[in-house]
Each structure stands twice: as structure tokens, then as C-alpha cells.
Structure 1
Amino acid sequence: MFTVLLLSLVAIIFIYQSYKYVFHRPAGFPPGPPRLPFFGSYLFLLLVNYKYLHKAALSLSKWYKSDIIGLYVGKFRVAVVHNGEGVREILNNQSYDGRPGLFLSKMRDPGDCVRGIFFQEGLLWKEQRRFILRYLRDFGFGRRFDQLEMVINEEITDMIDLIRSGPRYEHEHLLVKPGGYRIQLPMFFNPFSANSHFSIVYNERIPRAEMGKLVKLVNLGIQFQRNADDYGRLLSIMPWIRHIWPETSGYNKLNESNLYIYKYFAEFVDRHIDSYDECCERNFLDLYITEMKKGLPKEYGFNREQFIMGLIDFSFPAFTAIGVQLSLIVQYLMLYPEVAKRIQREIDEVVGSGRLPTLEDRQKMPYTEATIRENLRIETLVPSDVPHKALEDTELMGYHIPKDTIVLPSLYAMHLDKRMWKDPENFRPERFLDDDGKLCLKKDVSLPFGAGKRLCAGETFARNMLFLMTTAMLQSFDYTLAPGDSLPDLAKNHNGLIISPPDFWVQLKER
């Protein structure tokens, strides 16, 4: 009898503890799905929409009738916000400027440390970001700079020549078909965007004949972007699964990308460290090396490993995200040919055909700029932003957010909120124009690059590249369908750390 009572007591305690584990939430924490052992609420997200987790989170938000939901991803407590006011609060409140130590961020570095800028916080992040932004600005990053625009112009000229003449070198066959006029997206634009960025950082550009390694860098950079997700994949919940399912878990592809990217930038850094001369300032790298040699406190982060990861973080969008966003623009131009024709009319009226478009033309081309902004809104490249972390106990939208909670501002939900946009599902560039057809920035309340202290440092560079490359392409070419081609299917776009189209070839026709 005693044994039965003891077993019953154990069973009751087990059931109670299990119930408490599944349904317990911190006092005042937002509503959300229960959690399961190991997985937390991650499985519920997968069940709702395994392909697009940001859409799954929005569906749960509607289910719970709350613009903010709370859930667990493995051991990590997470709050996801789905309205504009809450998103802005996260981005502009320094209490949420922390970064969670997810395994996905650690595995980027061969030493399994969290270095760089994206996933860093505290004094090291502030000092590194301040120094890099301050001195890169002198070389044209983040501002209008005539010399940089000349470099971009030369890169675009090379790009158009590659389209017209076809591949000249082996690596160019990955970008353009023999004979030209057929390009592969989203790969095609990135090498030229990256080369423009590298001219800022290294004061040097890679000739077309030597772009093989750069093309591989682009390919593996996109591979990394596609094989992660908004919540760090199961790898961040159960890192040990990489030993059992290295391929299925995505570890092999992520690791392959990380190793190549790290090696690529390490070679740049080491070459400059070895040839450094304190009497000769060649580029930004020399400025950083000078700072390394000052012997500053360790917590400032001026060392070789941090240098490498910092460069990776500041360069990553240039060799992946810009080309992907341009490819998303191409998708919409093909689906909405009347938009492409209207941009071409604007180009013909303002620029003509005797020269490439410049940033000076931008203010006279409101419809073109409105189209780019509309694409940035409707196809939010980073749907959940890079994860934030509460640095202290806070209150958000009336709910208690404990310290160390991961906080995700859903830029995707904000950009498709009917309360803000009325018809957000429609691709309509006119929404950013006033009654006179001029660009009205007050109407653009989208945040494709984030905001606050964590604002994407490359916003100005990215917006400039998107304008210059979009207009240069439409000035010279029409996007058409070759025999056997079909219009883009937006439902097939990949969801990783960023949204990206599947690899596809696009036919171009000379205007």
C-alpha cells in the first residue's frame, strides 16, 4: 500500500512539474503557445508555417489576438512584436540593444566566440562600431562621395559589358550564359556591389579576370543566408544535433560558408598586417592596425580576430544582401511590366542614353525611387530584423519583459499592417508620391534597415547601389522571358536570415 501511495505521489509531482514546465510563464509575460522539452515553442512555429517562421509568428499573434506574443525557443525566452509602435520601441530603446548568444552566431568564428558587430553588445560593440563608422566615412561609406560614385560607375560599366559580351573567364559562366544577355540571379549583381564596397575598405578593386574567389565568396555568403532562419534553426536550440545530422541540420553548409568567408577576410587582414608601415597610410585597414598597436584595454576589442569578424559583418550585406534585394526588384518588374516601362520613361526623360544615371538624377526620378522603396517594404529582406535582447527588466506594450529575453521586432508584420498601409498586399509605388507626383518621404514609415543604434550602417550605401544598378539595367535592357521561362513565383522565395529568390536565369533584351 505504501508503495502505491509513493508511486502515486511521484506521478502527481511529475504531472504537476510537467504541466508547470509546459504552461508556466513569467508574471506579466505576453501570451503565447506552450513549450515542449528541448524544443520549447519552436515546433509550434514549424507546424504553423515551417517555411516562413516570421509568418508563423504573425499567425500565432492573430490567434492570441495580441500584437505581442511570448514563446520559448529551446531554453531561450522570446517576445515577438507585430505592430509599428512596438517595433519602433524596440529599435529606439537602448534597453533592447543586447544580442543573444545563439550558437548560429558563435559558429561563424573558428574559435566559437561571439566577435564582430552584428552579434556583439556592450562596450566592445560600441567602440568597434564607433571606430569603424567614423573612419570608413572618411573613405566614402555612409555618405555621398564623388570618388566612390565614380568607382560604382566603373563597376556598372563592367557589369553591362559582361552582359553584352558574355563570359570571358571561367568564373563568369556562373553569372552569365555564353553569348550574354542571360544572367543568373541572385548571384549576378553581388560581385560588382562587393567590389564597390571593397574600394572603400581596402582602396583597391579586383579585376574581372581575378574575381573567381569573390564569386565564390558571394555564392557561399548567400548559402549562409539561406541556411539559417529567424530563430537560429534547431542548431541554436540543440547544438549537439550537428554531430548526428550534420547535413539535415544545416550545419555542414553553414560551416562551409563560415570557414571560407573567414579565410577570405583573414587573408586580407594578414596581408595588410604583414606589409604595415606606420609612415604610410594606405587605407582603412591601416588605420585599424594602428589602433591595434596602441595597446588599448582588451574590452575595446582591437585585435586580429575581432578585426576579421568586424570586416565580415560590415561587408556581408555588400556581397549578399544588395544583390538579393536587386533580384527581388527584378521579380516585381517582371510581374509588373508597366512599372518597369514607367521607370524607363523617367530614365529617358531625365538621363537619356548617352551616359549612366547618377545620384544627382535621383531627386528628379521620384517614381523610380518610390518603386525601390515599395519593394523594400513589400519584400522585407530581414523579416524579423537581427535578434535583440533585453539588457534589463523592462515593460513593452503593457507586458513584462524580463532581462535577457530575446526580442524580435517583426519588420515584416509592420510593413504589411493594414492599419498603417491600407492595402499593404498590393505592390503600389504610388503610395510614396504626393498629388503632384513628387516623392513624399513622410509617407514612407517603413524600416527596412531598422532604426536606432542598431540601424544598418550600410543603409546609405545600399540605397545608392539599388538606385544606380536598377536604373542602369533598365536604361539599357528589358527583362523578358526566353522560351521555357515562366514569370517569378514569389511563393518559392527562400526564407533564411534574409528572404531570397531561388536561383533563376533571366533573359535580357537590348532596348
Structure 2
Amino acid sequence: MANPLLVAVFSYLPSFRLLLIFVSVFLIVKTVLQKKSYTNLPPGPWGLPVIGATFRLGANPGRSLYELSRKYGKIFSIKIGPRLTMVINDVELVKEAYGKKADATSARELYPLNWMDTSGALISCSGSDVKPLRRFLLRSLRDFGLGKKSSELLIMEEAQHLCRGLAQTDGRSFDPRDLIQMAVANIICTLCFGQRFDYTSSEFNQLITSLQAVSHVSGFTIARDFPLLFLAPRYKAFREGGALLRKMMDDIMNQHKLTFDPQSPRDVTDKLYQETTSSAGKNQFSFGDDRVFRTMIDLFGAGADTTSTVLQFAIWHMALNPKVQNKVLIEILTKVGIKTPPEMADRARLPYTYATINEVLRMNHPVPVNLLHRATDAFDLAGYTIPKDAEMIAPMWSMHMDPDVWENPEKFDPERFLTPDGLSVTLPDGFIPFSSGSRMCLGENLARTELFLFFATIMQHFTFHLPPGAIPSHSGYFGFFLWFPNQFKIEATPNF
């Protein structure tokens, strides 16, 4: 006897096939008509309905976009999912688009994750709040020491905590990623939440683990346009990490509200609460408590992830390039010594060390495809017309690995950032690790200070080696817009 369920399913197959044919034809016609509606677009690869040319990005979108740029030029168009995207691979064009034409290019719509309550209010926001919020946050960070001796001392002290943590490995091979991320995260936690965590704190370890579960997720380029994909089993860790991150950040923010004194702000969170609850703040910002939370999530995520990733790659490169590592060590021991901690005033005296940091940033930028912008008006660029609502990407990978700009770009060579006499650092025009224009990285000053002080301090104390039998690797993986080193182990040998 036939199964009634199967009979019912097969009875609907003709109708389903007709529906599928209708939807396919509709999407194809829509794609063709939409393409015809655009005029004077930059050239670019063909794509498919709905998914566009996303399949061309592969596991390493930074390198893939770079390879496409070698074929289609300094600016090309591509469909990423259903969205028309302009890929700008030239520094001067980036400065023109994001600087001179910022009024038409400063909007952002990064990810539709409001349903997970993990989307931010700073990195992805657009509209009238952007400029006053950025100005306010910069002012608040400066109020709590950014760019001053107090923040430098804070980072110098945390660098010593990191060295003590590295010393506890006793020469054994270990994965340094969590330890480095906790050290960097403590800086942003102190500035934003007035709180430093011990590396052994279970709460802190949970916070770092949840952040990693969100930021290390891959496949974002397609899932952002089809958010139901985040319900798939492969995103289980992402969902659980996002929920835990939300809960822990909620706990921190709620504790702040309970002890908040508008007359005596303790950190950036208090300053933002003070501003949004005052009459002046209500005129300046159009958001309340929830957007305060989202702003702090953005600051924490960006502050804890990007700089720590660069430092992880830095240690990795030192182990892979012992001659470079030895030059860094000799320079530090000669110019600073073994007893005095490096400080920012030493940066001019340590040009090779500073150049090495810049070379790590060039080769392994933590955001290799950069963040998306959206055109709020049509504008002209390089002889092409960029239509309204088109997205824009300026991939760091393409600009920092361009053989027309950088000699032998695949080679790790800090000397490319030195003057011919080797006595000072020069930053080429093609080097824009913090992007450009009105939405360039808000934390550039903090990041540069952290990178120099953390790197110089750990290099003063340790020499890094690959464990015996380890196979050298230059690979990494692409996560939530970020580029991370593959899991690796290292040995840290004390220098004294």
C-alpha cells in the first residue's frame, strides 16, 4: 500500500517545479534589468542571481579580491550576494572616495544581526549620530588617558603582566593567542569599563572565549545577506558565543548603571551614560541605553581583536624569521637595555623594531578586505559612475600586496620601512593600515601605542622559536571580517 505522505509529496512536484522555474526566470530577468539600469560601471566578473559572485571569494577573500584586481584594474564592480559592490584597490582612489567625497561614501550597513542583539552602534552605524559619536568617544578616551602618559603607563604595566604570563610557560611549547588577547583586552576594559581582569579569572576567560566564537566565524560574506543561515549547525558556536557575550556585557553594563554617578564618571561607559542622560546629550545623540551597550560592544570587540591579532602574527613572524628577530633584539638591548621597560619616547631610537611592526601590519592586516561603506548618492570615481546604494570595499590586502607599489611583496622585509641610512622609519603613501577618510579607524592612536609597547617589551624579554619538528607556515584563516593566524605553538626563551 502506498505511503500517503509520499503520494502527497509527489502530487505537488509538478507545481513545485513550475514554481522553481518561475522564480528562476524572475531572478534572471530581474538581474538583467538591474544591470541595464546601471550606466558606466567599472568592469568586473559575472555573477549568478541571488548569490552574485560570492563563490569567487573562496576561503581567503582578501587574496581573491587582489587576484581579481590584477585582471579588472584599480576599481572594479562585483556582486557579493545580491549587493552591487565597488572594490577600490588604489590608495589615491580610496583617499578620494572616502576623503574628498566622504559625504556620499560614509554610510555603513555591515551586518543584519539585530535579531542576535550583537550588532554595534559605532562601526556599523550611519546617519547624523556618526560624527558627534566619534568626536565624543575620542574626547572621552583622551579624558581617560589616551595619548597621554597615563595610558602609556597602563599599557607598559599590562605588557609586564603579559611577560610574566609568558614566563610561566617555562620554555614549553604553547599557543600564545589567548594570553596575548587577554593582555590587549585588558587595556580596552580598563579604559571603557574601569576594570582590569586577572588572566586566571574564569569570567575573563569566558568573555574572551565568547568574543572569539563570534569574531572567528567564517562564511560571513554570504550569511550576512541570508541571516537565517546563522541557524545552521555550523554556526552553533557563533550563536552560543554571541549569547554569552551579550550576557556578560549586559552584566558589566548593569553593574555600571547601579553605581553610576553622573557627577563623577569613572570611564568611557560612564561618560556615555552621562552624555545620553543629560539634556545636552539628548540633543547630541538619538539613542538610549541599548545603543550605549552596542557602542561599548563595538569598542570592546575592535579593541580586543585587531591589535591582539597583529601581535600574534608578529610573534609568528619572529619565529619564522630568526635574523629579523635577532636584529630587533640587538636594537632593543643596545638602545634600551634589559632593565628599563621600553616607552613611546624610545620609538624614534628603535627604528628597526618600529619598522618590523609596520611590516607585520602590511603582510597580515587584521581586516584584509576592510570594512564596507555604502554610497548614499551617486558619484564619479576614476571615470566611472558609482550608483547610489552601491557598497564599497577598499581591501588592505590588495593595496599592501601590490607588486606595482611594493617590491617583492610576499617577502617579510622590515627594511622597506626604513630610510636608506636605516636610522628612521618612513611610511610610504601606499601604506594605510588604519584606512582613510571620515570613517578611518577611531583607535589608531591607541593601536599604534599598544603595538609598539607590547611588541618591544616582549621582544626585550623573550626570543621565540618554533617547536622541534614544526613545519613553518605563512597561512591564516578569514573570520568575521578579520584575518587570524592558524593555530600555532611557540616556545618563548627568556633573554635574561
- The TM-score range, normalised by the shorter chain, is 0.7 to 0.9
- Establish whether residue 150 from structure 1 lines up as the match of residue 153 from structure 2: yes
The change in CA–CA distance for 1:436 and 1:19 in structure 2 (over 3 A counts) is closer
Match of 1:247 in 2: 233
The CA distance in 1 between the partners of 2:182 and 2:34, in whole Å, is 48
The CA distance in 2 between the partners of 1:78 and 1:180, in whole Å, is 48
Alignment of 1:116-155 (within 5 A): 116-141=121-146, 143=147, 145-155=148-158
5+ long unaligned stretches in structure 2:
1-21
- Establish whether residue 218 from structure 1 lines up as the match of residue 208 from structure 2: yes
The CA distance in 1 between the partners of 2:380 and 2:424, in whole Å, is 37
Match of 1:380 in 2: 365
Does the 8 Å CA contact 2:89/2:394 hold for their aligned counterparts?
yes
1:117-144 per-residue CA deviation (whole Å, 9 max, x = no partner) reads 0000111222222211111111122x1x
Relative to structure 2, which stretch is displaced further, 189-198 or 54-63? 54-63
The change in CA–CA distance for 1:163 and 1:297 in structure 2 (over 3 A counts) is closer
- Establish whether residue 71 from structure 1 lines up as the match of residue 78 from structure 2: yes
The CA distance in 1 between the partners of 2:229 and 2:462, in whole Å, is 48
Letter in 1 for 2:391: I
The CA distance in 2 between the partners of 1:15 and 1:197, in whole Å, is 46
Specify the SS of the correspondent of 2:475: helix
Percent same amino acid among aligned pairs? Answer: 25
The CA distance in 2 between the partners of 1:34 and 1:341, in whole Å, is 48
Specify the SS of the correspondent of 1:361: helix
Match of 1:238 in 2: 226
- The Cα of 1:393 is off from its aligned counterpart by 0.7
The change in CA–CA distance for 1:398 and 1:106 in structure 2 (over 3 A counts) is farther
Does the 8 Å CA contact 1:163/1:181 hold for their aligned counterparts?
no
Does the 8 Å CA contact 1:186/1:500 hold for their aligned counterparts?
no
- Establish whether residue 88 from structure 1 lines up as the match of residue 74 from structure 2: no
The CA distance in 2 between the partners of 1:292 and 1:322, in whole Å, is 29
Letter in 1 for 2:176: L
The change in CA–CA distance for 1:240 and 1:450 in structure 2 (over 3 A counts) is same
Match of 1:318 in 2: 303
Match of 1:460 in 2: 445
1:52 to 45, 60, 65: 60
1:98 to 103, 107, 112: 107
Does the 8 Å CA contact 2:215/2:480 hold for their aligned counterparts?
yes
- The Cα of 1:337 is off from its aligned counterpart by 0.7
Letter in 2 for 1:87: V
The CA distance in 1 between the partners of 2:435 and 2:364, in whole Å, is 14
Does the 8 Å CA contact 1:87/1:410 hold for their aligned counterparts?
no
RMSD: 2.5
1:35 to 23, 31, 47: 47
Specify the SS of the correspondent of 2:430: coil
Does the 8 Å CA contact 1:97/1:453 hold for their aligned counterparts?
yes
Match of 1:472 in 2: 457
1:390-442 per-residue CA deviation (whole Å, 9 max, x = no partner) reads 11111121111111110011221111122222322222111111122122435
The CA distance in 1 between the partners of 2:154 and 2:79, in whole Å, is 47
The change in CA–CA distance for 1:135 and 1:18 in structure 2 (over 3 A counts) is closer
Specify the SS of the correspondent of 1:453: coil
Relative to structure 2, which stretch is displaced further, 17-26 or 413-422? 17-26
1:243-275 per-residue CA deviation (whole Å, 9 max, x = no partner) reads 4xx123x3x333223222222222222111112
1:227 to 207, 211, 217: 217
Letter in 1 for 2:188: H
Match of 1:368 in 2: 353
- The Cα of 1:444 is off from its aligned counterpart by 5.5
The change in CA–CA distance for 1:160 and 1:57 in structure 2 (over 3 A counts) is closer
Letter in 1 for 2:233: E
The CA distance in 2 between the partners of 1:320 and 1:472, in whole Å, is 20
